[in-house]
Structure 1
């Protein structure tokens, strides 16, 4: 009976994810933080797996950061999102996939609000028509981009050139998975595994040969928190949350961290430098930090793409020790070369956190 009950609970948090034909919307901040991630997502979906993914050049930010920072009202965000739905409708798609966790949460919140308050949806349709003479159909299905890589994880594993395994020992790498708060904490039924047992990243890690670390602060926020960071006086709250997570995971000696949110990899990566400068402490081996990756970057690595084409040189924490551990070849000389192998500026290295 207990087993059957657990099976029922787990079944409630499974998602039937369509296999193909998606309207893809990018993230405003991911393109700046980790610009190779979204390009790799489309590369894998379109060219490696042969799927139909369409994106419109004239789509805009969803307004999520401004909304969560209390600088614009919800009706404004709804009208922005309604325009994005109109672009999807005009392109002939009904499956909508978002690169950004916050956008994903916004879309779900808006659709749920319209369901409860249909008169508000009517008003937004009127505002959209007045603003740009557009109409829309609501998406038949909304997914986060990590849902798609999760769905395709076994296909990727079949084509993989590398696995998340120590090439010297044959042991699985120890991987921390960090789920963005807006993925399933807002509406648990919309995420694979819900809020307590999200499996979207665990499934990738296990399919690609790694071992998932369970640690006390596994579900703790990375610390971004919008107003915690965007209000400069509040940034200590952001840093303290990240510090709490690293202190909690440190005894388990993780090899890497994989995330599915725009802000999480940025702060988990950059705050390691800040903690090192403030406290003289690092969390990786031999003075290095723990490298932090997006799920697209990890998918690209196992498929054999050049780490620098993935944009891994933009990470604060050095990725080279992990690449060596897996056995992924790379050219140190090409790390800071741009298009056509042109040399670009090399960053100044930190004083405490060891880098390559």
Structure 2
């Protein structure tokens, strides 16, 4: 169930700061290029900065670095947006969780914030804690009426399985706009563009890319977990899986190729980030969506979508 009071707090400005995720820049560049097209179509100009670095989440999640070591890096990243007086849109659950959790921790613990700013003063920066941090999903939900009005490429008769990802629903429940047990916001966004939602038993299951497990227990834990989820998706007969996190996308997309190669099943369901899907619905050029970078081909998906458009135009 949607937390309406939390939705009311979302402040969508004419200009916002786009925090680019590592996996969404290197593995799936279409996520970022789609964002640069989609948000302006919805009346939000997005700024990016070469001053941005990785959020630092990978180092903490894998216990390579202590949170106290990466906190100044988080604060420096946020200060880049603060210098422009902009709120932040994230495209990755890890980035969202890490920036949100650490910013709240610093804001609620002034001595920690002061210590961090002592470090930042060495590079002439300061963290103020004024920029709000949003998942792109939240911005889309707030602008759902605008999305519905501007659909140019309806997703009618296309079936979608959704995957939210653990870090958005479970890691920082204070700010998430949806119930972690019964989320519906992504489904609503897809439906207003004409798409059909399919249910599958493993809907809330992790994608399998928990960073410590995918590194230390890949074959014993991570792969079987992913396979169980993909088997469930396959039975649902979804035309595509929609995610809001590049790491989830990478695991669910690339592991299908791995399983096919190992001959442990046949998988061919494309996986798409929500920002790419919204871009598709709003008529963004396919080249800007970057679907060609995905391991599983979108050829059949696009052929079905195009055939629906041809039927409607007759």
TM over 0.5: yes
Give the Cα separation in 2 of the matches to 1:328 and 1:60.
42
Count the aligned residue pairs: 307
1:106 equivalent in structure 2: 98
1:158 equivalenced with 2:149 (yes/no): yes
1:323 equivalenced with 2:302 (yes/no): yes
8 Å contact 2:107–2:129 — kept in the other structure?
no
Aligned match for 2:44, one of 39, 51, 56? 51
* CA displacement at 1:99 relative to structure 2: 2.3
8 Å contact 1:192–1:199 — kept in the other structure?
no
The CA deviation string for residues 213-239 of structure 1, in whole angstroms up to 9 with x for no partner, is 2222111110111122234x5354221
1:199 equivalenced with 2:178 (yes/no): no
2:110 equivalent in structure 1: 118
Give the Cα separation in 2 of the matches to 1:152 and 1:60.
28
8 Å contact 2:85–2:131 — kept in the other structure?
no
SS in 2 for 1:308: helix
* CA displacement at 1:83 relative to structure 2: 0.7
Name the CA shift for 1:92/1:11 in 2 (closer, same or farther; >3 Å): closer
1:261 equivalenced with 2:245 (yes/no): yes
SS in 2 for 1:176: strand
Q: Whose RCO is larger (CA < 8 A, sep 6+)? A: 2
8 Å contact 1:15–1:191 — kept in the other structure?
no
2:130 equivalent in structure 1: 139
1:224 equivalent in structure 2: 209
8 Å contact 1:265–1:294 — kept in the other structure?
yes
Name the CA shift for 1:52/1:303 in 2 (closer, same or farther; >3 Å): closer
Matches within 5 A, 1:25-104: 25-46=19-40, 48-93=41-86, 95-104=87-96
8 Å contact 1:15–1:190 — kept in the other structure?
no
Give the Cα separation in 2 of the matches to 1:307 and 1:37.
12
* CA displacement at 1:82 relative to structure 2: 0.9
Which of 76-85 and 106-115 deviates more? 106-115
Name the CA shift for 1:61/1:312 in 2 (closer, same or farther; >3 Å): same
TM-score normalised per structure 1: 0.80
8 Å contact 2:162–2:243 — kept in the other structure?
yes
* CA displacement at 1:192 relative to structure 2: 2.2
Name the CA shift for 1:182/1:280 in 2 (closer, same or farther; >3 Å): closer
The CA deviation string for residues 78-127 of structure 1, in whole angstroms up to 9 with x for no partner, is 1001111221222232x222222111101221133234533222211112
Which of 102-111 and 151-160 deviates more? 151-160
The CA deviation string for residues 34-73 of structure 1, in whole angstroms up to 9 with x for no partner, is 1011111121212x23323222221111111111111111
Please, which runs of 5 or more residues in structure 2 have no aligned partner? Answer: 309-314
Give the Cα separation in 2 of the matches to 1:280 and 1:85.
44
1:350 equivalent in structure 2: none
SS in 2 for 1:22: strand
Give the Cα separation in 1 of the matches to 2:112 and 2:127.
15
Aligned match for 1:248, one of 220, 232, 236? 232
Name the CA shift for 1:108/1:235 in 2 (closer, same or farther; >3 Å): farther
8 Å contact 1:150–1:204 — kept in the other structure?
yes
